[in-house]
Structure 1
Amino acid sequence: MMQIEAGTTRIGWIGTGVMGQSMCGQLMDRGFATTVYNRTRKKADPLIDRGAVWADSPRLVAEQSDVVFAIVSFPRDVRQVFLCKNSGVLAGCRDGSIVVDMTTSEPALAIELYNTAKQVNVQSLDAPVSGGDVGAREGTLSIMVGGERETFETLMPCFEAMGKTVVYQGDAGSGQHTKMVNQTLIATGMIGVCEALLYAHKAGLDLEAVLRSVGSGAAGSWSLSNLGPRIVGNHFDPGFFVEHFIKDIGIALSESRRMGLSMPGLSLADALYQSVKAHGDADRGTHALMLALAEMSAVDWQNR
């Protein structure tokens, strides 16, 4: 197994959106030489301006890299980026390379990628993250990893550049299953955050004072502390897109049905977020759930 060292190990990065740009930047800050690709080149320009090298396809990224990370949008994008026979990452990897999918995706696809990579002597990890745009910018993400433990331990210098909590979860697919646990907690928790603030508003309370009181007590949560102030301030720009969250909830519901689980709370969250999308807010942050709930109660939240 290779040794990971800044200045020696060549990093490839695919996906330079809200999360990926900051995560890749953390690796560059540690001194890793980096090659990047994104479907829209303009979104990679800030990294290129900092010294990253542009490649015209995922395959060309792999040809210039020892380790390739990707964080894209949907499982179909993961399949295209890694498994496309002509232009995918695995088509360009050399023996002993490592690929890491940090997209929130399907556990079965993570296993398929692992097995396909193994056939060409490439190691694969599924390593989805939690912590949103704030965690990506600050290098404090939670990273949940599936695959071979030795590969996980080899990549710790990279993971530690991006995250504060890095945990090995088990075999391939385990990282994605853990992310489904995370998304289930967030989905149902966000309903509580929005309904509670809506209640506080209708009761005539000072919302900022309310946040100071409840945020430090038993009701405190990451979502309340980080997204509560954004909701109060009517800042609904995405730290994580509603559209992508609906995808995650769909994966979790599909997996729960496969395992014979009833998930009524998650099913409710799915219905509510579908309403957010129907109202034209799919490209806003997950906390835009407030806008749909407020409309149900005939509250003009943004002009309150």
Structure 2
Amino acid sequence: MGSPYPTPITPDNTRIGWVGIGVMGGAMAARLLSAGYSVTIYARSPSKAHPLLSQGARLADSPASVARLCDIVFIMLGHPSDVRQIVLTRTDSILTGLKPNSVLVDHTSSHPELAKEISASARENNCWAVDAPVSGGDVGARTGNMAIFAGGDRAVVSWLLPLLHILGNRVTYMGGPGSGHSCKIANAIVAGGSFVGLSEGLVFARWAGLNREQWLEAVRGGPAGSRLMELFGQRIIDGDFKPGGFAEYMVKDLGMGVQTVEGAKDREVVVMPGAALSKELFTGLVANGEGKIGGHAIITVIERINGN
């Protein structure tokens, strides 16, 4: 299938909708506003819309209204259940308002099977759906330094690139519907293990009497260094656990990975003991009432295990 429009995307001919303006979504929508695009937003809590409204966004009264007013609708929500409701099941859902040839782009970290369902429903309505979760945290959302993993029709993803490149500096087409979400789940498995490893390294460094800033500087340039260490290492040392992504989302993403392979009926089951252990540790963070702080706060679980 070809792209939905024969003309390229520009601020003059493309109206953007955005649903979900939290830590990540709000920063991403602001980047499109700064690039000159007309952006209409919907927020379940309208008070949270004020920063974007002050930058020129318009506020709609429902997801369907956003879809009726726009050519491309982006969503960035918390959980697959939120996506299902906003896109499919509400009486004023996005799909009830999408016009023929319009496009839905889901940046939520959601379930691959739900993405396939949404894509099929969109095509039945002569629309398109792309699953395009992101990795880069709050800093990446503000600066556009994010990886975007795109699943859906290749031609549609290619047509969207002018917008996706505003939001992220690395856009990778992963395959058909659901492939973007599968990529993000695999990314979360790596990130979860890396958070645990970084946290245990810092706990051990302090136990051994090392200066933790000096330890971080010593290892960051070697094989143990990572983008995650660059983004969160000093924040962990400083006890700055403001969320780049909520800890509860790590439980969600790791849980989707573990549950997907355990429930697979059409392929060989993969055993992932590390992902399962990471999920349990992040679940401990959430159980302690800290699901809304950053996932890098997992160090507090390691410290509590050690009596600190």
TM-score (norm 2): 0.95
Amino acid at match of 1:55: A
Q: Provide the residue aligned with 1:87 in structure 2.
A: 92
Q: Provide the residue aligned with 2:121 in structure 1.
A: 116
* Match of residue 276, structure 1, among 281, 285, 303: 285
Amino acid at match of 2:297: A
Q: Provide the residue aligned with 2:13 in structure 1.
A: 8
* Match of residue 162, structure 1, among 162, 167, 174: 167
Residues 38-90 of structure 1: CA deviation (Å, up to 9, x unaligned): 11112221001111000011000001100000000011110111112521111
* Match of residue 262, structure 1, among 261, 271, 274: 271
Q: Provide the residue aligned with 2:300 in structure 1.
A: 291
Is the partner of 2:260 in helix, strand or coil? helix
Structure 2 alignment gaps of length 5 or more: none
* Aligned mates of 1:204, 1:85 — CA distance in 2: 56
Is the partner of 1:6 in helix, strand or coil? coil
Instruction: Please tell me the root mean square deviation across aligned C-alpha atoms, in Å.
Output: 0.9
* Aligned mates of 1:276, 1:222 — CA distance in 2: 23
Cα displacement (A) at 1:131: 0.4
Cα displacement (A) at 1:35: 0.2
* Aligned mates of 1:80, 1:297 — CA distance in 2: 41
Amino acid at match of 1:24: A
Is the partner of 1:268 in helix, strand or coil? helix
Q: Which runs of 4+ in 1 moved over 4 A?
A: none
Amino acid at match of 1:294: E
Cα displacement (A) at 1:298: 1.4
Matches within 5 A, 1:23-172: 23-84=28-89, 86-172=91-177
Matches within 5 A, 1:195-206: 195-206=200-211
* Aligned mates of 2:12, 2:237 — CA distance in 1: 44
* Aligned mates of 1:177, 1:8 — CA distance in 2: 32
* Aligned mates of 2:286, 2:179 — CA distance in 1: 29
* Aligned mates of 1:50, 1:199 — CA distance in 2: 46
Amino acid at match of 1:141: M
Q: Provide the residue aligned with 1:192 in structure 2.
A: 197
Cα displacement (A) at 1:235: 0.3
Q: Which stretch has the larger CA shift, 109-118 or 23-32?
A: 23-32
**Residue pair 2:17, 2:72 contacting (<8 A) in 1 also:** yes
Is the partner of 2:129 in helix, strand or coil? strand
Is the partner of 1:103 in helix, strand or coil? coil
Amino acid at match of 1:157: P
Cα displacement (A) at 1:147: 0.3
TM-score (norm 1): 0.97
Amino acid at match of 1:106: H
Q: Provide the residue aligned with 2:221 in structure 1.
A: 216
Structure 1 alignment gaps of length 5 or more: 300-304
* Aligned mates of 1:225, 1:199 — CA distance in 2: 19
**Residue pair 1:279, 1:292 contacting (<8 A) in 2 also:** no
Q: Provide the residue aligned with 2:26 in structure 1.
A: 21
Is the partner of 1:217 in helix, strand or coil? coil
Residues 175-232 of structure 1: CA deviation (Å, up to 9, x unaligned): 0110011000011111110000000011111111111110111100122111110110
Percent of pairs with identical residues: 38
Amino acid at match of 1:217: G
